[in-house]
Amino acid sequence: MRLAIVVLLASTLQGCFFFYIPGSMLSGGGNTCATEAVAEGGRIKHADGRVGTVSKLYGRSERCQDGRRPILADVKYD
């Protein structure tokens, strides 16, 4: 029965292509949301108390839901 279902699905999807696009390619990298006042090379404190240096800014991002921290940034934590 399973074989019949697989064959049926394979025949109906003939000619279809599926691509996996990682989320990081769609919205840029970044591991921390930061305030608008942050600059590359600046130091910021994460909500959990860690302190790090901003290595790259990506700009406003939908991934950053807190209106006080709308900027997506790569941060290297100490």
Q: By three-state DSSP, how is residue 34 classified? A: strand
Residue with the bigger pLDDT between 15 and 2: it is 2
Taking the CB of residue 52, how many other CB atoms lie within 10 A of it?
18
pLDDT digits (tens, 9 = 90+) for 16-71: 666 666 555 555 567 899 999 999 999 998 878 899 999 999 999 888 999 999 99
Regarding beta strands 32-34 and 51-60, do their DSSP bridges make them parallel or antiparallel, or are they unpaired? unpaired
The full set of domain ranges for the chain reads: 2-77
